[in-house]
Amino acid sequence: MTTITVFKGDGIGPEITDAVIKVLNAAGADLEYEFFNVGAKVYEETKEYIPEKALESYEKNKILLKSPITTPVGKGFRSLNVTLRNKYDLWANIRPAKSNPCIPTRFENVDIVTFRENTEDLYVGKEEQIDENTVYAYKIITKKVSTRIIKAAFEYCVKHNRKKLTCVHKANILKMSDGLFLHIFEDIAKDYPQIEANSLIVDNTCMQLVMHPEQFDVLVMPNLYGDIVSDLTSGLIGGLGLLPSCNKGDEYAMYEAVHGSAPDIAGKHIANPSALLLSACMMLDDLHQDVVSSKIRKALNKVFEENSVLTPDLGGNATTEQFTDEIIKNL
Amino acid sequence: MTTITVFKGDGIGPEITDAVIKVLNAAGADLEYEFFNVGAKVYEETKEYIPEKALESYEKNKILLKSPITTPVGKGFRSLNVTLRNKYDLWANIRPAKSNPCIPTRFENVDIVTFRENTEDLYVGKEEQIDENTVYAYKIITKKVSTRIIKAAFEYCVKHNRKKLTCVHKANILKMSDGLFLHIFEDIAKDYPQIEANSLIVDNTCMQLVMHPEQFDVLVMPNLYGDIVSDLTSGLIGGLGLLPSCNKGDEYAMYEAVHGSAPDIAGKHIANPSALLLSACMMLDDLHQDVVSSKIRKALNKVFEENSVLTPDLGGNATTEQFTDEIIKNL
Ligand SMILES: CC(C)[C@H](C(=O)O)[C@@H](O)C(=O)O
Ligand SMILES: CC(C)[C@H](C(=O)O)[C@@H](O)C(=O)O
């Protein structure tokens, strides 16, 4: 029995969390949960976005299932997502985008896993007002951090039998920073002769992704490109509502839905819990409960296939609860 | 009669330039040309990538039609494209991506114009080795430069009767730098109540572009996002081989094909001159020779429509010369 920490988040966060937990339980996941409300509502009451107790739980359990949190607007606030990634050194952000034949889009046979470096690049949040006219932001690339994400991506290819790893960069312009990332990639590639390693400039990557996405397998890149490219790949398979995401470090892991907290539909019982559910499946895989995760994925697919009990964003008119129950019925 | 400077460039550069000039002449463009070889071959002979004489011609004529130049690889070299943009303060990069019914892609009804700031952001090329492990690159955003590109984009909307302008940014993370850009956008928007102004985070923009591109009209953004997003939009309409591009400043203008110099097919007489030809049409529009440019665009479309005399990248087996002659036949 593994105990995990669960953050319920803002907007549709609590609803989709409830849905996911219901499915996990029905599928027989060997899990215990410690639930915490986090985000804007909690802040109103406690002046803390993430209560100390919630962090303590995560520090004990090391595994977090997190639904969307709205980051407060304004210069004083740092993104809570980014704060969590940094505080727990969750340096690898892994986002698999796989076409689902039951979810028709303009694209077929997309099966792309993005390995996004998750702790540096422009996300360090180091910015400076140089003079009245000028702001600098710092893009930081280090050897150490680039090395670990690139190695992790190669190791992933080996473990998951993926054939090709593409390094995405802009080293033709950023010769020293992205140049360093690319150079490390080329160096490490030598240790993995069985993996086809190539590199592609980020702008060209985005053009290729919308023309010939089937050429891509696993991608590895610095933080900001990973943010952009992983959203793009989600678009190829039907959007962020279907994209699982996991953030991993040496000690901690965080599984999250990347879509927003959708305050406009919160409480209306129409939110789609699929992204959080698929993220939870990644968690089950990592916990060696892949019998359970494949049961869940199959059931979800059946619901997509039946095409009758779907939430509005998927073209149906079911409630979150009806959609959830339909998954459970198909387990 | 307007005299323009023409850079023939590397790889397929000379071939596509010849093709374009042939069409311009046949269509009756009121132009005179000063031709220059630039790029790698010239460098071998003269140790200069762009000969002084070529620059002098541009400085006199102020209008440049430029085919692809290969930037030398290596830390010492700066991109020649970027160098030209900076030297002549070509601060607005305008890239219209419009679906062509005769070029089938996965997308229809795309009609998106990207206004890319062209002189600052990470493209300043300011990078620093901080210590053995760490490189910094500087993203620079200024009030002055952001203001002029944003104003230009709004003015373009007014002049071309475009309804909506979207500011693309990542101000949720880059609160000061992209925050400045966004803030200026919101400020200037107040002067254009007739234009629908909105803003969208760059990652979400890329997802939306591959799912619902028809929602977009004109986009304005800092340099790097513009690089990425404009390549993405080109993919929606069939690739960079069909995307015109122009770079404008207060004094100078440069019209260029954005695709590479394709050394692998250079001299094989199969290069597609369309992107450079469409860029030349943008030039003719700006020179108030739009009777000529629309004649050319119509002829090109007819060739696409006939679907029989196309270069291999467009699915045909015609040579560059046959394709060019077919355009001329249809003028
Ligand atoms: C919410 C935001 C801070 C975050 C990011 O930029 O990383 C999101 O876009 C994501 O991709 O997880
Ligand atoms: C060739 C390269 C320097 C250039 C850029 O990055 O701007 C190109 O990608 C473009 O978009 O014009």
pLDDT digits (tens, 9 = 90+) for A69-90: 987 666 567 788 999 999 999 9
The pTM score is 0.97
Nearest C-alpha in B relative to A204: B231
pLDDT attached to residue A271:
97
The residues, ordered by sequence, that sit 6+ positions from B310 with a Cβ below 8 Å of its Cβ are: B303, B304, B316, B317, B318, B323
**Count of H helices and E strands in chain A?**
11, 12
Q: What is the mean pLDDT of each run of 10 residues along chain B (331 residues)?
A: 95 97 98 95 87 97 95 72 95 97 94 98 96 98 98 98 98 96 98 98 98 98 98 97 97 96 95 98 98 98 95 96 98 96
- Which residue's CA is minimally distant from atom 9 of ligand 1? A227
Round to whole Å and give the CA distance between B203 and B211. 13
Q: How far apart are CA B138 and CA B131, in angstroms?
A: 16
Residue nearest to atom 4 of ligand 1 (CA): A81
Q: Output phi, psi for A168, to 5 deg.
A: -105, 130
Return the residue matching tokens 């330039």.
B17
Distance CA B46, CA B51 (A): 8
In a domain, A172, yes or no: yes
Mean pLDDT of A211-215: 97
Tell me, what's the pLDDT at B95?
98
Shared domain check, A130 and A211: yes
Amino acid of residue B247: N
Contact partners, residue B211, CB within 8 Å, separation at least 6:
A105, A235, A238, A239
How many domains is chain A partitioned into structurally? 2
CB count, 10 Å around CB of B120? Answer: 23
Q: Show which of residues 36-95 on chain A sit within 8 Å of chain B, judged by CB atoms.
A: 71, 75, 79, 82
Per-residue pLDDT, A274: 98
Q: Mark which of B191, B224, B242 sits at the end of a domain.
A: B242
Across the interface, do B211 and A143 touch by the CB < 8 Å criterion?
A: no
Which residues of chain A are within 8 Å of residue B133 when distances are taken between CB atoms?
142-144
Q: Does residue A135 contact residue A128 with C-beta atoms inside 8 Å?
A: yes
Residues A145 and A14 in one domain: no
Which residue type occupies B72?
P
Range of the domain at B62: 1-90+249-331
Cα A8 from Cα B320, distance rounded (Å): 60
Q: Cβ of B232 and A210 within 8 Å?
A: yes
Burial grade of A52 (CB within 10 A; 0-12, 13-18, 19 or more)? exposed
Bridge pairing between strands B246-248 and B92-98: antiparallel
pLDDT of B43 reads: 87
Quick one: which atom of ligand 1 is closest to the CA of A93?
Answer: 12
Q: What is the arrangement of strands in the sheet containing B164-169, beginning at the earlier edge strand?
A: B31-36, B2-7, B63-66, B253-256, B246-248, B92-98, B111-117, B218-221, B164-169, B196-201
Assigned domain for A244 exists: no
One-letter identity of residue B45? E
Indicate if A85 and A128 belong to the same structural domain.
Answer: no
Residue B36 and residue B18 in one domain: yes
Q: Tell me the three state secondary structure of residue A310.
A: coil
**Does the beta-carbon distance from B231 to A141 stay under 8 Å?**
no
Where a domain ends, among B220, B242, B264?
B242
The answer to whether the Cβ–Cβ distance between A207 and B127 falls below 8 Å is no
Q: Which of B242, B257, B280 is the last residue of a domain?
A: B242
Q: Are B224 and B273 members of one domain? A: no
pLDDT interval class at A239 (50, 70, 90): very high
A215: closest CA among A251, A166, A155? Answer: A166
Query: B267 and B177, same structural domain?
Result: no
**A172 and A152: one domain?**
yes
- CATH for A277: 3.40.718.10
pLDDT at A73: 66
% residues pLDDT > 90 (chain A): 92
pLDDT of res. A129: 98
Q: In terms of domains, do A148 and A226 share one?
A: yes
CA distances from A135 to A140, B85, B151 (A): 16, 21, 20
Burial of B171 (0-12, 13-18, 19+ CB in 10 A): buried
Shortest CA distance from B139: residue in chain A: A137
Task: State whether residue A312 is helix, strand or coil.
Answer: helix
What is the spatial distance between Cα B198 and Cα B175, in angstroms, rounded to a whole number?
A: 17
Q: In what order do the strands lie in the sheet with A218-221?
A: A31-36, A2-7, A63-66, A253-256, A246-248, A92-98, A111-117, A218-221, A164-169, A196-201
Residue A150 in contact with residue A185, Cβ under 8 Å?
A: yes
pLDDT of residue A45: 86
